[in-house]
Each structure stands twice: as C-alpha cells, then as structure tokens.
Structure 1
Amino acid sequence: MNPPFRITLAQLNPTVGDIAGNITRMHEAAQRAYAEGASLVVFPELSLTGYYPGDLLDEARFLDRVEQGLAELLSLTRTTPGLHWVVGTPLRREAPGKPLQNCLVVMADGAIKLRYAKQLLPTYNIFDERRHFEPGPDVARVLRVGGMQVGFLICEDGWNDTGKDYAVNPFERLADAVPDLVVTINASPSSLGKQAVRRQLFEAASARHQLPLVYVNQVGGQDQIIYDGFSFAVDPAAGVVFEAEGFDEAVHTLGFTDGRFTDAQGSELPVVTNEPLPPMEFYRRQIVLGLRDYARRCGFSKVVVGSSGGIDSALTLALAAEALGPENVVGITMPSKFSSAGSVDDSVILCRNLGLRLIEHPIRNLVAAYGEGFETAFDAPLQGLTLENLQARVRGTILMEYSNAFGHLLLTTGNKSEISVGYCTLYGDTNGGLGLIGDLYKTEVFDLCRHLNARAGRELIPCAIIDKEPSAELAPGQRDTDSLPPYPVLDAILKQLIEGDRLGGEERETVVREFAHHQASVDGRALIARIKRMIARNEYKRRQAPPILRLRGRAFGSGRQMPIAATYDF
C-alpha cells in the first residue's frame, strides 16, 4: 500500500545570480517537506538562478556555476530519501538554435528522474525569454511519484489553453497523457488584477481538462519587477481550494487523495475567499516588498528622499518608512524663495508623524549664486524655465551629495502622470536609484495616501498635504494646472494612450467612456493630440530616469519600449 501522497508548495524568494543562497533556501524547504512526509516538493521557475537572469545567461562562468549548483542539489536530494524535488533551471543544449533551454528537473535520491523544457517562451511586455532560450519539443512529460502520475508544465505553457496566443497548447498535450495531477512552476510577475487573472485562467483549464493542479509561484522584488506569490491548488469542480499568502515566502504541504486536495493531515481545507486584494492595498504591499528587496539586494539599508511638502514625496516617505523602518529613512527639505511656509511646515509635521528624521538645507543662496554666474558669463538674466529647472537640479545635486556622503539610496518621487508628459526635470527631481510611485497615476497617489491614513487609523500623511493644490513651487504662484489639464482628465487620457486594452474590469469601462467623451468634441480631440505629443517627446527623459517599481499592466521601462528619435503621426 502506498503512503499518503503529500505535495509541498515552496513559494520562495530567490535572488538572481545567488546560486549558493538559492540552494540553501531550497534545501531548507525540502527538509521541511521531508519532515512532513511529502512525496514531492515544488520550487518556482528558474529557482536555481532566480528569475530573470537576463544576459548573465550569456556568461560561460555563470553557466558553469549553474551546473555546479545543479550537482549540489542532486547531492542534497540524498538527504531526503524518496522525496522528489521539482527545480527550475537553465540547461545547456547541443543543437542548432539557442544554446539554452528553460527547464524543469525532477530529482530524487541523487538521480535526475525527469527533464522538461519550456515550450512557450514569452517575448512581449517585460518578457524576453526567446533572447536566450530555445523552445522545448511539443511533448508531454509525466512521472510516476508515490503511486501518482504527475504531469509538469512551466509557467507560460499553462497560459495558452484558449489557443489564442500560440499555435501549440502544452496543457492540452499534457491532458492527453491523463496524469492524476498537474504541477506547474512559475515566475509570474505581479500587477494590478493579475492575482484574479491567474485564478480564472487556471480554474478554467483545470475544469476543461478535469485535471487537478498545483501552481507554485516565485515571490519577491527583482529590479522593477515584483512577484507576489499567491501559489494555489485547483480542484476541477470547486476551483481554487488553497491559496498561499501573498508578498511573502511560504512553504505549505497539502495532501492529495482520490483526486482531492486536503491539508497535510488529510482534513478538509478551509474555504478560499474569491476576493483579491483591493487596488490600494495591492499597491501598498507591492511597493513595500519591491523597495525592501531592491534595497537589500543592492546593499542599501537606508534611503533618503527630498521632502517638498507635496503629496508625491509624502507618499514616498510613508512607504519607505513602512518598508525599511522610519529609523532608516531621511527626509531633506530644501526651500527656495518660491517655497511657501506651509510646505516646510507640512514636511515637519509629516516626518514627525512618520517618526523619521528631517533635515533642512535651504537653496536660496545657491540659486542666487548660480544666477549671478549665469548673468556674468552669458550676459542674460537667469529666468523662466531655466531658473525653474535649475532649482530642481540644485535639489537633486544636494540629495546625491547626501547619498554619496552617507550611503543612502536616493528615492525619486515622480508619479506616472508627470513622467508620462515630461513634467519633471532631468538631472533634478528625476535623480535617484529607484522610483516607488512611478507607476501610479496622480489620482491614485491621492487615493493611496488616504488608504495609508485609513489603515493606520490616524494622519500619517497630513490632510493639509493631501488637500492642497499640487504645485512644483518653482515660480511665483505656480500650479500644476498652469501646464497640465486637471489630473482626473489627464489620467483618463493617459490610461487609454499608454495601457489601452491592458486595463481591466471597471477601470477599462470608465476610461473608454471618458476617452470617447473627449473624442466627441473639437477641444477634446485637441487635448488628446497635445497629450500624445507630450508623451512622445519626453521618451528621452524616461530613458534616463531611474527604474520604477511595476504596479500596472504596462509600466515604463522594459514593458514599454518606444524609440526616441521617431515621428509619431498617428
């Protein structure tokens, strides 16, 4: 009689390139799985290297280290007799085409029991797998483990069951092999609404083929991309019957008997809620994890932010304080002759509420000295846009001085609305190592500030900051609406122009309706054309800006690759 079949979902946070560290994480999870009597422990896609290694895959020494790491893992499987480890790794190949494949390897008792190469290689949006990998053959791979026939897929292979995106459907091919259980390993990046999309897609595929499945996802931040975890198990009749927590590592052992999932002891699983995270809570958790991992992996423990007294810097400071602790966040206020007393006072109250240090470094005299030098050298006064941009650049220089002197990571504070239309100063407020809110539209910045206050049950971010009219305060009486349409109008147009069909649900319906309203009038069409031109002509700024954490379906960076020197006449 076969022992009870248990499967451990190891939702880990690997670091790209840290082969030794990733092996340690996998070994610890496997030991736990073994102690809980599991037959199978499943790790995420490319768990050995972390996803995505990029052009490290072109380095021979890196690939040698991957092979050494695979040998280490193979040896470690002897410490867990009978337990099958499902590991994601690149493997070399000898044939025409790309020299590597994105593979799943099943190992047990010091031997490789199965290899499977990913068939569908995403090369769109933020993905570029065809750059390095050759697709695997159109074959199903099934392995008998503990009396169960287990079939295997890798991420994108399971996303084409509707047949819309690729000519090949690996899920259908696997269903023909009639496994008892499907295991899919994943590195599925997180964005607004993605958790619900995954559930719906795999629930539909499981029901169509009448196949139970487990979906194991990576978690953690890697450069701009964040992986949210939320690994799950699907019953063909009941849908998602188990879901791991999001935005954190998690190791869970499930039972699987007579085609049904149970807990490790064979008891019925608690009911899974069908409600994904609300948007503002999703944004909060995504940004906090993204900053935490980015700072840690880049060797920073502290950050610095320019505190203008405005809403963007306030939100950035609040999120940084949550991610790293207020003792590791420094704000610097840099008033000029155009700064209102209220802005400085608001910065003081904000930083007091957050419990972090605020330093004042006025720039009035520095700007005046630049003005004198400019007029002496060029026989013209320093004024207008040149003077406005100079103030931003002086502030950016001071922030970089502090970063260099004290080892803090500088966080830039631009939001998606302003970055889209170039309402920012290159080498000024675009300075920094990471942007936390660069994928949030301005209207979402307001909403997230209110959410943080509601969640805290007090004013973390003073209402005076939230309620004040947005202004760069670089000229007398300046307001954002002097240069831009009201943010609700601007954001609706930007969402349609930048994200379009990638928007989901109610947001998509609202944006389409509002965009159509503008298209129906001469003034509205002129406004749309103006915003299109602003987006296009500021591509050069975005190309030089720091990376921003991806929150939505289409973010600036690798997810939107547009030429700089081009004519946009559409």
Structure 2
Amino acid sequence: MKDRIRVTLAQLDPVVGDLEGNAAKARAAWEEGRAAGADLVALPEMFVAGYQTQDLVLRPAFQAHAQTTIERLATDCADGPALAIGGPRREGALLHNGYWILAGGRVRDVVLKHELPNFKVFDEKRLFAPGPLRGPASVKGVRVGFPVCEDAWHPDVAETLAETGAEMLLVPNGSPYFRDKHDVRLAHMVARTVETGLPLIYLNMAGGQDDQFFDGASFVLNPGGAIAHLLPFGEEAVRHVDLARTPDGWRAEPGEVTPQPGEWEADYRVMVEATRGYFRKTGFSKALLGLSGGIDSALVATIAADALGPGNVRGVMLPSRYTSAHSLEDAADCARRLGIALDTLPIGGPVEAVHDVLAEQFSGTEPGIAEENLQSRLRGLLLMALSNKTGEMLLTTGNKSEVAVGYATIYGDMSGGWNPIKDLYKMRVFETCRWRNREHRDWMLAPPGEVVPPRVISKAPSAELAADQRDEDSLPPYPVLDAILERLVDGDRSVADCVADGFDAETVRKVERLVYLSEYKRFQSAPGPRLTGRAFWLDRRYPIVNGWRDPTGGA
C-alpha cells in the first residue's frame, strides 16, 4: 500500500487551438515533475485544446487532432510519472469535456465532466454531452477522484467519489477571473472537504483568452478547509505537493502559501496580464493609442506600458480647434512620465476639408452631433492608418460607463483591436489611477511613481468635441451614472429598485434607454478583459433590436 504521493501542479497558460504548443508545455511540466520525483503531473481542464474553445471544438478535424496529440503525449511521457491533462473526448456520437490520465505509454483512463456550466461566459451544454457520475481513477496505487471544474461545485459529484473509495480529490479547472472570485471558489471547495473528509487539490489555469483571464491562484486544502498550499495569482507556476497517508486518512503536507492581491491590485493585474497575453497570442508586440490628455487614455497608456514596456507603446495626440492647452500639456506630461513615444497630428485641416465636402448635404441644418463626431471619426481613421502602416495594434479607451450608455463614437474613438478598461466603470478609472500612482510591482514594466499626472485625475472629464463641453452636459454625474449602471447592468435590477434606492426616476429611465439603444455599438466594439461577473459580451447578451422598456418605477 502506497503511503506517500507527490503531485506536480502545472498552473500554466495554453493557447486555444495550439495543440502542439500546448502539448510541448505539458511535456516540459512532466519532465520537471519527473526530475522532482513526482508520481503525478497534473494540468488544467481542456489544456491541450486551450479554454474556452467555443465552436472550434465542434470541428471533427480538430477533435481528431486533439486526440492524436494526447495519445502522442502518452507515448512521449511513458517513463516517469502519470500525466493528467484536459482535452476533448469523442465517444461515438457524443463529444465530452474529458480529463485524460496517461501512464506507462498509454491512455489509462478518461474522466468525463458531468456537470456542464451553461451560464455567464459558459456554453458547455451547447458543445459537450455530460459524462456519467463515476468513481475514482487509480494513480500509482492511490484512488484519486477527478471532479472536473463545475463538478466540484456540486456536492453529489464529490460525494459519489468519496462513497466509491476516493482517497483525495484533484479538481482541474478553467475558472476565469471576476472580482472576488477567489473567495467564492474557496468557499465551495472548503465545503467539499467538509462533506467528504478528503484533501482537495484545486488546479486552475493561468493566462488570458480573448476577454477572459484565468487567474491561477490554485490551492490545496486539507479536510476541514485548512490551506496547505496557495499558488501565485495571475501567472504561471509549477508546484510540487506532497501528500501522506495518516491514521486519519490522506493529508497534504504544508507548503508555500503565496499572498494574494487585494481587489484593486487584482483588477489592475488582470488588465495588464490580459493585455500582455492578448498581444503575444495574436502576434502583436507594439501598441498605439490616441493620447488625449484625459484620464481614460492615460490609464490605457499606463496599462499598455506596464504590459508591453514603454518602448513598445506610442501615443498620438490629435488636436482639433476645441482641444485645450492643458490637454496638450497633460498628454505630453503623461507620455514623459511613462517613457512612451508621443506624436502629434493636428486634425483641424482634415476636419475643415470634410466640412467642405459635406457643406451642400448639410446645408440648412443646425451644427450638432454629426459635426462633433466627424472629429472623432477622423481621429479613428488616422490612428487605424498608422496601425495598418506600422503593425502596431490600436487600443481603444472607452470605460464601462461610456460603453454602457454609448458615449463613444462608433468608427471613431471606438476603433481599435483591444480595450484594456472595457469592464471598468468611470469612478473605478479614477481610483485605479490613484492606486497605480501609489503602487508598483515587479510585473509592471513602466516606471514607478505618479505616472498619471495629478491634473488628469482632478479635472472635469470632457470629450472636447465642442466649445466648453463637459461629459456631464450629456450624462448624469459619473458617481450617479455608475451607481445606476451597477444596478441596471451588473445587478439586473429594475427601474423601481433604482428609484427606491433614491435615484430620480427620469434619470434612471434615461440611462436605461441609453443602455438599450447602445447595444449595436457594443456588438461592434473591441474586446477587453472581464473584471466583473456582468461584463459586456458573453456575460450579458441582449438583442440589438429591443422594444421593451421596464414599466416599473413611475413616470
């Protein structure tokens, strides 16, 4: 009877669709585990394919390629520890989310995910068939239960494993970040250890995939919920975990418990690491953005510089007749503090030329939003031209408040391939800038200190598309707007709920109307990192054409 087992946890970052590259990372982790005397090397859910695959996994050729890749891994990793790795598994007409156990040069077992999440960002019932409830798998003579991700959030799966002889639980995950998610995960997994009396290893993926960021922070719990190991947040890590048989059952020996970041640092790191990963995985190395002298573009420039390095970021100031002197000064000051390049392309001449072209068509009308948006669209045109010519990815800079109510110009300042602050409300933009000015970490590539000029934080926000323009001329004050949006968008609350909380009914209805009318803009907007459990895109899917308005809340 085996009394000790060493498990190597590979909290790694796959690339969706890069089967060979992901297998190479798994092989390297297996070799590291073998050198450390591991009995089992474990990788996260769907690691070979990457996660989430969306409809890519439905392609028969992709399924076949994934299976042959896993079988080749089994052959390559024959002489040493067992290897556990996630990947698609087809059985007859059914496709499953599988967790493959490889040992001795062959596939020894495949655990099929039973509980398929179909909420928020997850569509697994669309892609996979559920596997059966089953007992543990044997790994080097130890009976290990493998509840795959969502399985561990349901008591019946863990209870079945315990009742059928599991001696420990290893949970492979692709669990994406949202604010305070770590505490939610930990509470559920502690419950499983209390219910089963078994130690539990929670192994999460690290790295970004499109809008989702997998924050790692894997952990090992002993029965009752005591933490024996806690891996780093937001980065790849390999950790060797020792478990021993005791008179009371298997227990994990204490190891390193890595401190986890607070809320503001966690959000900021996700924005930085998601940006870094998105560039790397899409083949870009340099970023471009319109640096206006305002707070949103200053924060985006800071995130980009922290993610890519200041030498790989270029700001462009595109002043018009309405651009204030302090905006020019603040853009230059921000670029200097960050150490990024800054170019200036005045758009006064092009704006006048377009006005001349449109003069006959616009004759007899009052100047208004169309003329204002010409400036934004010319900026978008010039920035996209620079992006095309240089190969720099254009970053867009709209915060969640603006994205929610459509306070952005489609084909103008919404132009770009990535938006680092898409899920960050305006008031959080202010506080994030203050936090970054106070704090610096070794994963930040830009300089420490006040990289966002204080005046950028303190001045009133303005799009500067008309004389003496302020955002609050068109919108409620941002503290009010954000509080209403948090209720309507993040909380799915009614107009009546908002009014009951003290908000003016007419203001709430205006905000609700803007949110619904702006759906078509969001449908065409750049992706950005998900920070909340109600981010625009997969978390919240609304029709573009929508005639319904909430009838509650009074006139």
Q: How does 1:172-191 map to 2 (within 5 A)?
A: 172-191=159-178
1:269 to 2:263 alignment: no
Q: 1:565 to 1:270 in 2, by over 3 A?
A: closer
SS at match of 1:485: coil
Q: Which amino acid aligns with 2:109?
A: L
**Whole-angstrom CA distance in 2 between matches of 1:339 and 1:271:** 51
What is the DSSP-based 3-state SS (H/G/I as helix, E as strand, rest coil) of the residue aligned with 1:412? coil
Amino acid at match of 1:237: G
Please report how far the alpha carbon of residue 141 of structure 1 lies from its aligned counterpart in structure 2 after TM superposition.
2.9
Pick from 473, 495, 498: which aligns with 2:489? 498
Structure 2 counterparts to residues 236-385 of structure 1, below 5 A: 236-258=223-245, 259=249, 261-262=251-252, 268-270=254-256, 276-380=260-364, 383-385=367-369
Aligned length: 540
The SS at the match of 2:117 is coil
Shift of 1:376: 3.3
Q: Secondary structure at the residue paired with 2:92?
A: coil
Q: How does 1:454-533 map to 2 (within 5 A)?
A: 454-456=438-440, 458-500=449-491, 518-519=499-500, 524-533=504-513
Tell me how far apart the structure 2 counterparts of residues 27 and 222 of structure 1 sit (CA, whole Å): 21
3-state SS in 2 of match to 1:317:
helix
C-alpha separation between the residues in 1 aligned to 2:219 and 2:66? 28
Deviation at 1:60, TM superposition (A): 2.4
Aligned to 2:90: 92
Q: Is the 8 A contact 1:375 1:381 kept in 2?
A: no
Distance 1:43 1:515, change over 3 A: farther
TM-score of the superposition, structure 2-length normalised? 0.94
Kept after mapping to 2: 8 A contact 1:548/1:556: no
Pairs within 5 Å for 1:49-68: 49-68=49-68
Match of 1:568 in 2: 548
Give distance in 1, aligned partners of 2:118 and 2:498.
Answer: 35
Alignment-derived partner of residue 505 in structure 1: none
Q: Secondary structure at the match of 2:395?
A: strand
In structure 2, the residue matched to 1:395 is 379
Kindly report which structure 2 residues correspond to 1:101-250, keeping only aligned pairs within 5 A, or say none.
101-137=96-132, 139-161=133-155, 169-250=156-237
Match of 1:541 among 503, 521, 527: 521
- Residue 69 of structure 1 corresponds to 69
Q: What is the CA-CA distance between 1:59 and the residue it aligns to?
A: 1.9
State how far apart, in whole Å, the 1-side matches of 2:365 and 2:382 are. 24
In structure 2, distance between residues paired with 1:240 and 1:564: 46
CA shift, 1:236, in A, is 1.4
Cα gap change, 1:368/1:271 in structure 2, threshold over 3 Å: closer, same or farther? closer
Superposed displacement of residue 111, structure 1: 2.0
Per-residue CA shift, 1:364-418, capped at 9, x if unaligned?
A: 1111111111113443467211111111100011110000000010110000001
- 8 Å CA contact 1:116, 1:141 repeated in 2: no
Map of 2:11 onto structure 1: 11
- C-alpha distance after superposition, 1:69-128 (max 9, x if no partner): 012111112132xx1111111011214xxx310011111011222111101111111111
Which string of whole-angstrom CA distances, capped at 9 and with x for unpartnered residues, describes residues 240-287 of structure 1? 221111111111111101245555xxxx435566xx522210111101
Pairwise CA distance, 1:496? 0.9
Q: 2:534–2:540: 8 Å Cα contact kept in structure 1? A: yes
Separation in 2, partners of 1:271, 1:133: 35
Check whether the contact 1:11–1:44 (CA below 8 A) recurs between aligned residues.
yes
Distance 1:515 1:565, change over 3 A: closer
User: Matched residues in 1 for 2:459 and 2:400: separation?
Assistant: 19
Deviation at 1:195, TM superposition (A): 1.1
Distance 1:2 1:119, change over 3 A: closer
- Alpha-carbon deviations, 1:429-479, whole Å to 9, x = none? 110001100100000000100011001462100001000100000000000
Residues 496-545 of structure 1: per-residue CA shift (max 9 Å, x gap): 111117xxxxxxxxx99x99674366x71221121111111110110011
Query: 1 CA distance for matches of 2:430 and 2:413?
Result: 19
Structure 1's 175 and 361: CA in aligned 2 closer, same or farther, altered over 3 A?
same
Partners of 2:113 and 2:182 in 1: CA distance: 22
8 Å Cα contact 2:498/2:508 also seen in 1: no
Distance 1:127 1:517 in 2: 29
- What amino acid sits opposite 1:220 in the alignment? G
Which amino acid in 2 is paired with 1:206? T
Check conservation: 2:233, 2:261, Cα contact below 8 A: no
Corresponding letter in the other structure for 2:326? G
How many Å separate the matches in 1 of 2:318 and 2:191? 55
Alpha-carbon offset, residue 239 of structure 1: 2.3
Question: Could you say which residue in structure 1 is the equivalent of 2:530?
Answer: 550
SS at match of 2:384: helix
Give distance in 2, aligned partners of 1:381 and 1:568. 32
Letter matched to residue 38 of structure 2: A
Give me the whole-angstrom Cα distance separating, in 2, the residues matched to 1:145 and 1:91: 20
For the 8 Å contact 1:240–1:272, the answer to whether it is kept is: no
CA separation of 1:272/1:352 partners in 2, compared to 1, >3 Å: closer, same or farther? closer
Look up the equivalent residue of 1:470 and give its one-letter code: P
Alpha-carbon distance between aligned partners in 1 of 2:250 and 2:161, rounded to the nearest angstrom: 19
Q: Does 1:406 align with 2:404?
A: no
Which residue type is aligned with residue 269 of structure 1?
Answer: G
Gaps of 5+ in 2: 441-447, 551-555
Aligned to 2:443: none
**How has the CA–CA distance of structure 1 residues 554 and 520 changed in structure 2, closer, same or farther, with 3 Å as cutoff?**
closer
SS, match of residue 316 in structure 2: strand
Q: What SS does the aligned partner of 1:254 have?
A: strand
Q: CA RMSD in A?
A: 1.9
Aligned CA distance change for structure 1 residues 431 and 203 (closer, same or farther; 3 Å): same
CA contact (8 A) 1:374 1:382 kept: no
Query: What are structure 1's unaligned runs of at least 5 residues?
Result: 162-168, 502-510
> Residues 76 and 520 from structure 1, CA distance in 2 versus in 1: closer, same or farther, beyond 3 angstroms?
closer
Q: Secondary structure at the residue paired with 1:403?
A: helix
Task: Give 3-state SS (helix, strand or coil) of 2:4's partner.
Answer: coil
Measure the CA separation in 1 of the matches of 2:501 and 2:112: 51
**Paired residues of 2:159 and 2:195 also in contact (CA < 8 A):** no
Partners of 2:3 and 2:244 within 8 A in 1: no
Task: Extract structure 1 runs of 4+ deviating beyond 3 A.
Answer: 1-4, 259-263, 270-273, 514-518
Structure 1: how far apart are the matches of 2:41 and 2:498?
54
- Identify which range, 535-544 or 492-501, moves more after superposition: 492-501
1:254 and 1:261 in contact (8 A); partners too: no
The one-letter amino acid of 1:182's match is: L
